[in-house]
Amino acid sequence: MERTVFLVDMQSFYASLEKVYHPALEDKPVVVAGDPSIRSGVILAACPIAKKWGVQTAEALWEAENKCPDLVVIPPRMQSYIDASIEIGAVLESFSDEVEPYSIDEIFVEMTHSLDLFQESAEEAALRMIRQIKRMLGVNARVGIGTTKVLAKMACDHFAKKTPKGIFTLTETNLESDLWPLPIGNMFGVGKRMERHLKGMGIRTIGHLARFPLDPLKKRWGINGELLWRTAWGWDPSPVTTDTHIRQKAIGHHMTLPRDYYTWKEIKVVLRELSEEVARRARANRYMGITVSTGAGGHDFDLPSGFHRQQKLEDYTNDGVVIYEAAARLFQEHWDGYPVRSIGVTLDGLTPDSYRQLNLFHPIQDREALNQTVDALKSRYGSDAIMHASSLTEAGQAQLRAKKIGGHYK
């Protein structure tokens, strides 16, 4: 039996939902964008009408407004979008019990056995999905169909979005004719840096990569080189799993600051806040980590500065104090003194917290009871219910972050 996987993508998800919430905006060019006064004035989603004016996702708000003077700008409401995404997931679960969220507006669905159950073709099932999502939430969906997850993803990204029905099927039969002529930068898993490397090797299309000898790719990039080559052929054995976002390799937080931070006195306030939040999330997910990494981005896009470094700890931890101390050491050692506009902290090398290795020579300073009490207070009264006094200073961001999800207001 040939495998059938769907990748269901919502068209202009945030902007489309805002038009559902505000019917008067149906014929208006609408974008959802962050607040330009705090450096997040970037287009998160643009409706099809706005896109006809040349407005693009991820461009600066001022650029979009120059292209479309009548642009309607709506601030994001992340909790509403998350709630809608969960509802869409529930709709898709009526088609299959194997549903995997890939992002807030993209969901994989394993349809191999469901098609036999419903006695319909893949395209018929996809059309029924699209109609049901439209009827229940008012937004348009597109469906990429493939024999693997990676083919379904590329079918959706490069073809389904351009077809009248919003459906496209990509299999080994049309791989060479439809996918391979596309530029190498369009292939899933190829970023800007990798695109430059591949072009430097004379690989300019996905087909060039598919026909390229495997050994040189493996010699240069190891297993990642083989993964890229396999992606060009559409080979992807990974299953659609319902617990993809439960198993984590790392827990981190990164934020863009509302202004440039010039001094260590200001920087360490945010570094402590991020460390405590990383630790709280690790405890909530029953993890400990062994590696702490931190990084910073400079204030000048034309003259990039900043760093990203990591340090392996002596013992696994999910304690915010331990994470902060490691991050602070890294920061003080590698920060070049230039103004900072973004900061991040990550706990890596995760393992379940069901056990802890004791060390006779380096006693662990155990704050488990205190951490559990703080977690309980935040869970009941909000993440800003209790915090370090330094977070109440001008440099602190904890109170503002408590009102946001994913960097945007709830």
Binding site residues, as ranges?
Answer: 9, 105
26 is a catalytic site residue: no
Give residue 234's identity as a one-letter amino acid code.
G
Q: Which of 148, 140, 170, 172 is nearest to 157 (CA)?
A: 170
Task: Let me know: does 252 contact 278? Beta carbons within 8 Å.
Answer: yes
Burial zone of 240 (CB within 10 Å; 0-12 exposed, 13-18 middle, 19+ buried): buried
Q: List the beta bridge partners of residue 107.
A: 8, 101
- Please tell me the distance from the alpha carbon of residue 356 to that of residue 366, in angstroms, as a whole number: 11
Active-site pick, 100, 106, 110, 276: 106
Exposed e or buried b per residue across 256-277, where buried means at least 16 C-beta atoms within 10 angstroms of its C-beta: ebeeebeeeebbbbbbbbbbbb
* DSSP for 35-88, written as a single string: -GGGT--BEEEE-HHHHHTT--TTSBHHHHHHH-TT-EEE---HHHHHHHHHHH
What end-to-end distance do the CA atoms of the chain give, in Å? 44
User: What's the half-sphere exposure (Cβ side, CA atoms, 13 Å) at 409?
Assistant: 11
SS3 149: helix
Q: Which two tokens stand for residue 66?
A: 């120059």
> Residues annotated as binding site for Mg(2+)?
9, 105
SS3 260: strand
Whose CA is closest to 13, among 90, 107, 100? 107
- Count, in order, helices (H) and strands (E) of the chain: 15, 15
Residues noted as catalytic: 106
